Amino acid sequence: MVQNPEAHISENMKNISDVYEVQILLAYFLGQINQLCTPNQLTEIATGEGVVNYFVYTEAVSRMLENGTLELAEIEGTNYYRLTEKGIEGAEKFKKLVPKSFRDKIYAAGLRLFVKLKNDRDVSFDIKPAKRGYNVHCRCCDDDMVLMDITLYAPDQEQANYIKSKIQMNPTDFYCRVVDYIIENEEYVPSAAEEQGLF
């Protein structure tokens, strides 16, 4: 008899409290994300945004390692969680026992973490005092290729930190907007009023 997937969801609808369902959820996530995931990263993804209770999560991972649906693999000196064939088959077969809203939530949490990690790795900042105000130096890379190396002026440290935080929110969009502006930029042609000194 198939259990009702809603049966073990807490009243506040924020996390799953059943260890078996959490195992399915984790297997689903690892099967979908197409990304190597360390134990610390999986813990943060599953518990950081309240998708799964930490204690239920640790119990689920322990059971997955014991039953052979999950393994710890060392790749280039770093340990990663990896689904076994048994785990891949189980994730596909039983994923619908976990509501789609939770599957979507953990997948989105994973994407956000991996985007943040890539941004932290590929985008660097250096804020230095200038004669008046501060210079915010931003360097955007893609692996070993420098995409953008730019310095922006800020009148004070608070605005310098604000500029940094805004770029950090979405450095890819910032880079694209700069490139788009350059491509669309046109030569300045003063209006007749400006030529006559009216403005």
**Domain range for residue 158?**
130-184
Same domain, yes or no, for 101 and 26?
A: yes
Q: Is residue 196 part of a domain?
A: no
Same domain, yes or no, for 116 and 146?
A: no
Q: Is residue 2 part of a domain?
A: no
pTM of structure: 0.64
Same domain, yes or no, for 138 and 91?
A: no
Q: Could you tell me which of 117, 123, 122 has the C-alpha nearest to residue 136? A: 123
pLDDT (tens digit, 0 to 9) for every residue of the chain, 199 residues total? 444 544 444 434 456 778 999 999 999 999 998 788 999 999 999 998 888 999 999 999 999 999 999 999 998 899 999 999 999 998 888 888 888 889 999 999 998 888 888 877 888 999 999 989 999 999 988 878 888 999 999 999 999 999 999 998 888 888 889 888 899 888 877 776 666 665 5
Q: Is residue 193 part of a domain?
A: no
C-alpha distances in angstroms, 75 versus 31, 61, 172? Answer: 18, 20, 29
Same domain, yes or no, for 24 and 105?
A: yes
Paired strand residues for 139? 124, 149
Helices (H) and strands (E) in the chain, counts: 8, 5
CATH classification of the domain holding 104:
1.10.10.10
